[in-house]
Structure 1
Amino acid sequence: MTRQVIIEAVEQPGLTAEQVRRVAAEHPAVLAHLETADADRLILGEAAALGREPDGRAPFRASVFDPVSNRGVELRGTVGRPEHAEVVPSAYRPTPGPGELRAAAEILRADGRFPTGEDVIVYRPMPPLADLENPDGTTTRRPTLGVYTPGGPVRHRIVAVDVAARTVDWSPAGVSAAMHPDHPDDCESRLPTPVESLRDRGGPDAVRLRVLDGGTELWNLIVVRPRASAPQNPGDGSGVELREVRHRGRLVFRQAHVPILNVQYEEDGVTYRDWQNEETRFSAAGADPVGWGWRICDRAPKTILERPDNDAGNFQGVAFHDGGGGEVRIVSEIAAGWYRYVSEWRLADDGTVRPRFGFAGVRNPRTCMRHRHHVYWRFDFDVEGSDNDVIEQFDGTAEAPVATQIVRETTRRRRPPARFWQVTDKSSGRGYRIVPGPHDNTTDPYGIADLWFLRRRASELYDGNPHDDNRAMLGRFVNGESVSGTNVVVWYAGHFRHDQNAPHPHQGHIVGPDLIPVR
């Protein structure tokens, strides 16, 4: 038998968006806090089951947000009895979705100040929101839109749209579209995609991937596409997410994904927390056996990193490619404003896992300023079961590394004498070695750390997305718990400095460690 890559659609446990809406509409505390009687206008989504056993006792959390009052609550309950959920006020503000952006774009184009010309592009900029604080202490929700006018005296304008009032603020406070003085031309070369052009055409949220070679099953796992990746509701996705990952029948990960992605600019200190649930187009040729958004490729897909000409493509979703050499690639391209990211996993026949994250952008007024991207993977290792894990740090030389067991929750930086880390099962010795990638760099004060070793808690998936400087608040999960002989989670950060005055080689735009099987 030849090698086979097989995908099958699967259902994810939890509550559908319609179930969450029904609970919110019938829960008096929700509508009272949000000061609304109209449940149809609420912004919400599906609520995944957070427990290890996807039955009615599994907990869930769901964000319910009213865009008119600009207020939100969080429902906390169990999947089997959602009507008894606790209602907690929430500061979480979801990024605008496709429907809200299209409505804002329609209002913008109808404004008398909108520039003329067929080459004008309305795109999604950063930041995603420019909310207005009112004298009475309330705030008005205002999605932002970028207006690109190639032939105009001002090529980029970032505006704020009050969708409820149908008004446009052409100079929102605190939002700058100024060009870098050393780069009077547009930053980046690729034209942005208009907000109206990217449409979600359905398809399953998740599939089961099986890789077989000669009848032997090498890999069996669930792949979740970016639009449905955790954390969501609250949270803004994590790119391509892997769940229940098994190699040759043995469980490797319960979950692996990128819940946090940050940007910080060096010159003016501006920071962003990027969302990772907006799928954008790239090039992929092949078959779609389970419907739209899932493609098994007959040749290597090409993301924005391989396409220097534009921000287009024929596919939107997750692509799989087995190009020979004993490795299967899982690839998607995602967007956050003018940033474009490549979310990728490489699964080798010998059990090695290579998570990769790539960085690019489309035409905009800002990315030619020096900035750093910080990407944070979360690895929920479950080798030989969920408990009995041991974490070790190996220092010294490659010829004679010295192991030290880490017994309490802590953080680490990638700097000498540390060389690599290891998570193994205490009884069998099987596990995975975490070997830093050559371009992963080490943290700065904004990035906080390079690794976090934590005891697994279902509630420690979303760090709260603070509104002051957007940095990763993973320190709130470090409280001295034991990680010896327990169920552990490892967060791993990669850091990429983007400076157009000192460009990196192409590979420098991709970061990520190698996870190498032990025994």
Structure 2
Amino acid sequence: MSDEVRVIIEAVTRPGLSAERVRQIVAEHPEILAELEVAEPGRLLVSGAEALGHDPGDDAPFRATVFDPAGNRGLELSGTLGRLDHTEVRPTAARPEPSREELAAAAAVLRAHPVFPTGDDVVVYRPMPPLADLDNPDGTTTRRPALGLYTPSDPTGLRHRIVAVDVHARTVDWTPAGINVRMHHDCEDTVPEEVDALTDRGGPDQVRVRVVRGDSELWNLIVVRPRASSPQDGAGSGVELRNVRYKGRLLLRQAHVPILNVEYEEGTTFRDGVSFETRFSATGSDPVGWGWRLCTSAPRTIIERPTTDAGNFQGVAFHHDGEQLRIVSELAAGWYRYASDWRLGDDGSIRPRFGFAATRNPMTCKVHRHHAYWRFDFDIDGAENDVVEQINETGSIIPEPAPIIRETSRKRRHPALYWQVRDKSSGHGLQLHPGPFDGTADAFGISDLWFLRHHPGELYDGDPDPRNRAMLNRFVNGESINGANLVIWYAGHYYHDQAHPQPHQGELIGPELIPIP
């Protein structure tokens, strides 16, 4: 029997409503347009409406957002797929990050400004924060995408400035309030790509991936691209895995990173989007179209090639090295660059990984800490009847599992060694082992693990607090998780001090999930 490994990729339909269908619903509901005071639905930014819940059918609930960038107002649409005429509409304070098209329009306004700097080395890039909205005296706000200007040849030594662009009024605010806009120092080595250099050429939002060795199927799962990752009405979640099966056994219904934030010691904080795909290096074929690549050699993100922000590919790349399948994408949030990386071992292990880098910018030289929050929806042999146990260091050769029976949060500290989720009937499950560089939460990071009962609407924490912290404690209300449908949030904390690098600096963080036979 041949021991050859084959990776099979095929496009699959995603349950729910496409962005185009949501736009059509808006056009068919005059009250939605009236609420936003918009006559033409074509100018609205709309998200897709994914079907919520486990194994969603024709009557599954959905949620989507509709946003008017000119009026800077948004609405949330919710209902069930089978009764679109009963869609509920309510205002939302959520403000989507600028789209590729909006950024390109803002860059055109900026370059046409009479005081735009000259020079072939001037770069217009995505900064942080992504928006610099203006509060008006009448209580309204004006939406203004932020743009960074990198001017290395400026005669005064001014290398970075951040401006705000009102796309509809075609005006530029060169000193937006609340943003440190004039900076002479430079962090990192990689020159960023121009803000409008990246395009999205379509391709499927998700695929089914199978890893077959000889005649045996090892892995069977759905992979969702970052641009379409859950929650679609939030900031995305990197490369998302769904319906993960190993040798036919269901392990995870969903696994992704819906929350990513950063805090600087001087007080600045950001909540980063995890859906904007950027370029990295990947060589191979595209079996289902643009954005999906089966590689002949290991893909290389900015983590592996820190001298360039360019590459030959955007989307999700796959590579099997003989022992594991890597699923990789590179994401951009302002000047930050993130590697979203999953490693599925032929032995059934799952290693989620997240890497941190940046292009030239005025901030990351300062001491800061990134916090990545994975969400694991465990469905061991099915959605119900799972239990979670903590394995403590007791000095015994055979440690005694301590069950966790109600929703709670925990920090990684002695005596806890690891945690495990098992199906009560079969005993099969996964152990969750902390990564060696994942750290322990500080006050900003809140906690390290949350053990929760599954609820379809708890895909992320909604609007964060003013300091952009992860507000997952709002989900902890004492519900029983003994024999339930379990969700575990796991946080990794990456400390970055450029002047005093840590031994692991440049490495990826993340836990390891090991199968319980």
Q: TM-score range by the shorter chain?
A: over 0.9
How far apart in 2 are the matches of 1:509 and 1:360?
Answer: 10
Shift in Å, 1:502: 1.2
Do structure 1's residue 213 and structure 2's residue 213 form an aligned pair? yes
Asked whether the 8 Å contact 1:327–1:347 carries over to 2, the reply is: yes
1:388 aligns with: 385
Do structure 1's residue 175 and structure 2's residue 179 form an aligned pair? yes
How far apart in 2 are the matches of 1:509 and 1:174?
Answer: 33
Matches within 5 A, 1:345-360: 345-360=342-357
How far apart in 1 are the matches of 2:461 and 2:328?
Answer: 26
Matches within 5 A, 1:451-490: 451-466=449-464, 468-490=466-488
How far apart in 2 are the matches of 1:26 and 1:327?
Answer: 48
How far apart in 2 are the matches of 1:441 and 1:53?
Answer: 35
2:285 aligns with: 287
Do structure 1's residue 222 and structure 2's residue 222 form an aligned pair? yes
How far apart in 1 are the matches of 2:488 and 2:84?
Answer: 31
Give SS of 1:204's match: coil
Asked whether the 8 Å contact 2:465–2:471 carries over to 1, the reply is: no
How far apart in 2 are the matches of 1:358 and 1:53?
Answer: 31
Matches within 5 A, 1:71-470: 71-152=73-154, 153=156, 154-177=158-181, 179=183, 185-232=185-232, 234-267=233-266, 269-324=267-322, 326-397=323-394, 399-466=397-464, 468-470=466-468
Asked whether the 8 Å contact 1:55–1:80 carries over to 2, the reply is: no
How far apart in 2 are the matches of 1:45 and 1:163?
Answer: 21
Give SS of 2:46's match: coil
Unaligned runs of 5+ residues in structure 1 are none
How far apart in 2 are the matches of 1:35 and 1:290?
Answer: 41
Give SS of 1:510's match: coil
Give SS of 1:83's match: helix
Give SS of 1:509's match: coil
Percent sequence identity is 65
Give SS of 1:401's match: coil
Shift in Å, 1:176: 1.1
Shift in Å, 1:506: 4.9
Give SS of 2:144's match: coil
Counterpart of 2:374 in structure 1: which amino acid? W
User: What is the TM-score when the length of structure 1 is the normalising length?
Assistant: 0.97
2:34 aligns with: 32
1:513 aligns with: 511
9-18 vs 397-406, greater mean Cα deviation: 397-406
Counterpart of 1:512 in structure 2: which amino acid? G
Give SS of 2:139's match: coil
How far apart in 2 are the matches of 1:258 and 1:215?
Answer: 33
Shift in Å, 1:466: 2.3
Counterpart of 1:328 in structure 2: which amino acid? L
Shift in Å, 1:507: 5.9
How far apart in 1 are the matches of 2:162 and 2:489?
Answer: 35
Shift in Å, 1:177: 3.8
How far apart in 1 are the matches of 2:202 and 2:41?
Answer: 24
Give SS of 2:101's match: helix
Asked whether the 8 Å contact 2:407–2:452 carries over to 1, the reply is: yes
Asked whether the 8 Å contact 2:450–2:488 carries over to 1, the reply is: yes
Aligned-residue CA RMSD (Å): 1.2
214-223 vs 306-315, greater mean Cα deviation: 306-315
Shift in Å, 1:39: 1.2
Shift in Å, 1:124: 0.4
Counterpart of 2:165 in structure 1: which amino acid? V
Give SS of 1:251's match: strand
How far apart in 2 are the matches of 1:79 and 1:425?
Answer: 31
How far apart in 1 are the matches of 2:401 and 2:53?
Answer: 33
* Divergent runs of 4+, >3 A: 397-400, 505-509
83-92 vs 390-399, greater mean Cα deviation: 390-399
Shift in Å, 1:465: 2.8
Asked whether the 8 Å contact 1:108–1:161 carries over to 2, the reply is: yes
How far apart in 2 are the matches of 1:467 and 1:104?
Answer: 28
How far apart in 2 are the matches of 1:100 and 1:467?
Answer: 26
Shift in Å, 1:487: 0.3
Counterpart of 1:96 in structure 2: which amino acid? P
1:56 aligns with: 58
Give SS of 2:227's match: helix
Shift in Å, 1:178: 5.0
How far apart in 1 are the matches of 2:191 and 2:421?
Answer: 44
User: What is the TM-score when the length of structure 2 is the normalising length?
Assistant: 0.97
Give SS of 1:511's match: coil
How far apart in 2 are the matches of 1:395 and 1:33?
Answer: 55
Per-residue CA shift, 1:259-312, capped at 9, x if unaligned?
000011111x11111001111111111111111111111111111011121111
Asked whether the 8 Å contact 1:339–1:360 carries over to 2, the reply is: yes
Asked whether the 8 Å contact 1:178–1:366 carries over to 2, the reply is: no
How far apart in 1 are the matches of 2:33 and 2:191?
Answer: 42
Shift in Å, 1:397: 4.6
How far apart in 1 are the matches of 2:515 and 2:333?
Answer: 33
Shift in Å, 1:391: 0.7
Asked whether the 8 Å contact 1:273–1:465 carries over to 2, the reply is: no
How far apart in 2 are the matches of 1:30 and 1:458?
Answer: 25
Shift in Å, 1:119: 0.9
Unaligned runs of 5+ residues in structure 2 are none
Counterpart of 2:85 in structure 1: which amino acid? E
Counterpart of 1:395 in structure 2: which amino acid? N
